[in-house]
A and B are shown apart, each in its own frame.
Chain A
Amino acid sequence: MKCYMCALEGKDSDAVAICVVCGMGLCMDHVIREEIEIWEGGFPLPSKKLEKTLPKMLCEWCYEAYQSG
């Protein structure tokens, strides 16, 4: 798979990730990695935050859409 954003710019580069929202192929220059905190448990015990986060790969457009919400 090729990077869609690079293709729009007239470049040809291999994708290393896929946007989890729209499925767009993305190279290292165009992928945005978000770290999602994970909490487990809850009533009747306090929730605990897990030490490790979950990565979430997004393209620029989907990331901006999330940020605007």
Chain B
Amino acid sequence: MTDPVASAPTQSPAAAAPAPAPSQPAMQPSSQQNLPIRDSKPAKVPAQKDKQQKGKDAAPAAAAVGADAPTDGGTKALTPAELKKKAKEEKAARRAKEKLEREQGGAGAAGGSAPGGGQGRPPATPKKDAAGGGASQKGQKAPPPRRGSGPGTVTQTPAVEQKKKKDDKKVAVFGHLYGQQRRTTIAGAGKEVHPAVLALGLQLRDYVVCGSSARCVATLLAFKRVIESYDTPPNNSLSRHLTTVLSHQITYLSTCRPLSISQGNAIRQLKLTISSIDPSTPEASAKATLCEFIDGYIREKITLADQVIARSAAQKIQDGDVIVTFAGSSIVKQTLLQAHSEGKRFRVSIIDSRPLFEGKNLARALANAGLDVQYSLMHGVSHAMKDATKVFLGAHAMMSNGRLYSRVGTALVAMSAKERAGGVEVPVIVCCETVKFTDRVALDSIVVNEIADADELISNQLPQQVTGLADPAAFTAAPVDPKKGGKPAPKEPTPAPSASSRAPSTSPLTEWKDTSNLQLLNIMYDVTPAEYVDMVVTEMGSLPPSAVPIVHRMSTNM
């Protein structure tokens, strides 16, 4: 848990600047190119769109019905099935428009608009074709479906179609997760947003403050600064006004990175405390109470909880164990260090994954503490699991159906631990504070998830080459190698500044936004089924995953 205010403000603007630079120019022209397609739609639709943008709701549904009515009136009596189809079409069109509008309204999300519009449409068109009769007129005018187009849709030139494909950089199944683009600068943030929160937002965005509990603590500390510098304006009561001030901060934070479950839980508790303050309390003492509450919350729910969890989870580690863990969970680190300090002899095998490489810090911390550490990436999981005796996992959240919502890849690790083909079944232990429990339910990792910038997947350095291919980029990098002490092939590429500047030019995927038929998906989390989790260690004791809702209910009611 790094102190957010101290560590990163110097780092974050520097890191923030280069990322948006390549993305923006790539997306801007594409949205313009897409415009002609939209214009090729029937004249009615753009008109409706304009109306909608001016007058917001109300209009579109009525307008759509009004427009369709005359044509249908000619064919007369519609069967219920046809009526149903029509209603569906209207709904789809309306949704597409609403989405378009939303994305156009979003600050700095110019690139997002075109694919959004394209996405809503295709489901509607095939239905129109199938409807036949009076609907066939509309079918002709409508643009062809994006993929798998039938023989009947040859009305448009292939060139236009290609452009459209190029624009669609959102993976279809996860389309609903690409909301607003993440904020890249503090420009445009409201004046109500406190500087501490501004800085924290960028740190969250850049994964400087990363991990569910760290984000929760950092947010609470930033809000403490907000409360400290808060003055109730005249004719307002603190308990009413402070919540609105805080909600500005929260909105800003959520545009930087979607809020974690723990952040949400902490904010809910804080707001509850604020609203329960008696309006007659003097401001100074009310603020003191709130700051005390925040300190107490962090101490009880996270700091002390972590200690309790580490102690009870460490009891499960025995001499000779081989512990497998995934990515870098702070609570798992604490557990392993606790067990080590108790004099237990065991090995740790860390499995890590791109693009965040959270396990590297864990590996270093554990190795420095004197533990035996093996570090491998995700593709080595089956190998690492061969001699594993226990799996320890951190959590982003525990869902009410007992499922574990954690860094993407966790489910794979848990599953390979439960793979019975190897002849052993390795217990999977999750360490999780109750602040991460939620009453929400997750059945898969599609409905609820977080999509990170796909550029993170490409901007990674390649291992340095000694024997150069005829690659110009490799030659420019060649002089760097001798300086590094002539290491033939370092296992982990050291984050040298020269390498990172060179990387974009060498990666074959740099131009992915202009490459047709190519989509990049960078999801953050996945959901591990409850059957793959043997035990959840919390500060309230060890539980089976099925007990999560009970404990959540109890910890929120208290």
* Chains A and B are bound partners: no
Chain B interface residues (CB < 8 Å from chain A): none
